[in-house]
Amino acid sequence: MKIRAHHLLPLLCALTLVRPSASQAGTIASYSYSQSLYDSNTAQTVGPEFLSIFGPRSGHIRYDQRMIAAAEIAQARAHAHSTERCWHSVKNALVDAQVIPTRPTTEYAKEAGDELQQKYGFTKIWVNNPFDAPIGAVLVYGGRGAGHVEIRTATGFASDFLSATPSTRPLLGVYVKRS
């Protein structure tokens, strides 16, 4: 039986879940969204058998289940071709995965990074190659017009459409939600 990469994603998510401790279990609903539910004591790294799916730098990253959920939501809702609503789609995925409490208000995709940092506690990480971005990271691109934004998935990139390769626009930043 051959196992395909898209069949492994649910398994990997289960392996990388960030579970609250017994003392936190009843209080998670009272956390503010400026605080992360990420707990470095219970988060898990990816084993060597999954490095080819999660990327070469994933062995040193501890994954927050909400960012992975946002990547899965964006991937499930994405179209085969662009509908020119990338930032709208990424906003919905982040809200529905409970990464952020409300929809960002910026209009243009290339403004996403600043708003995610200032209003929602995201951190810009220094990644120059989009393929090296961790699963669930938000990639923001500039260039002419509104720019582009997408979420890194296990199999590529998702926004309003799916792509195995990143945007060719200039990469402005890669953003993750940390504790």
In this prediction, residues 157-161 reach a mean pLDDT of 93
How far apart CA 63 and CA 142 sit, in angstroms, is 27
Model confidence band, residue 39 (pLDDT cutoffs 50, 70, 90): low
Closest CA to 150 of 90, 70, 76, 77: 90
167: containing domain: 64-177
Lowest pLDDT segment from 37-51, 59-73, 95-109: 37-51
**Number of domains within the chain:** 1
Taking the CB of residue 13, how many other CB atoms lie within 10 A of it?
17
Q: Could you tell me if residue 6 is inside a domain?
A: no
Q: Could you tell me if residue 115 is inside a domain?
A: yes
Question: Model's pTM, two decimal places?
Answer: 0.66
Side-chain half-sphere of 18: how many Cα atoms within 13 Å? 21
Q: Could you tell me if residue 51 is inside a domain?
A: no
Taking the CB of residue 139, how many other CB atoms lie within 10 A of it?
25
Please state, in angstroms and as integers, the Cα–Cα distance from residue 176 to each residue in 22, 48, 102, 113, 149, following that order: 26, 22, 17, 10, 13
- Give the pLDDT confidence of 93-129 residue by residue, as tens digits: 999 988 899 999 999 999 999 999 999 989 999 899 9
Closest CA to 65 of 117, 156, 148, 136: 136
Q: What is the mean pLDDT of the chain?
A: 75
Task: Detail the DSSP E strand segments found in the chain.
Answer: 122-125, 138-141, 148-152, 157-158, 162-163, 171-177
pLDDT at 77: 85
pLDDT at 138: 95
Grouping H, G, I as helix, E, B as strand and the rest as coil, residue 109 is helix
Q: Could you tell me if residue 5 is inside a domain?
A: no
Sorted by sequence, the CB contacts under 8 Å of residue 81 that are 6+ apart come out as: 161
In this prediction, residues 81-87 reach a mean pLDDT of 87
CATH code of the domain containing 132: 3.90.1720.10
Sorted by sequence, the CB contacts under 8 Å of residue 62 that are 6+ apart come out as: 18, 38, 40, 43, 44, 45
Q: Could you tell me if residue 47 is inside a domain?
A: no
pLDDT at 6: 47
pLDDT at 10: 45
In this prediction, residues 151-161 reach a mean pLDDT of 92
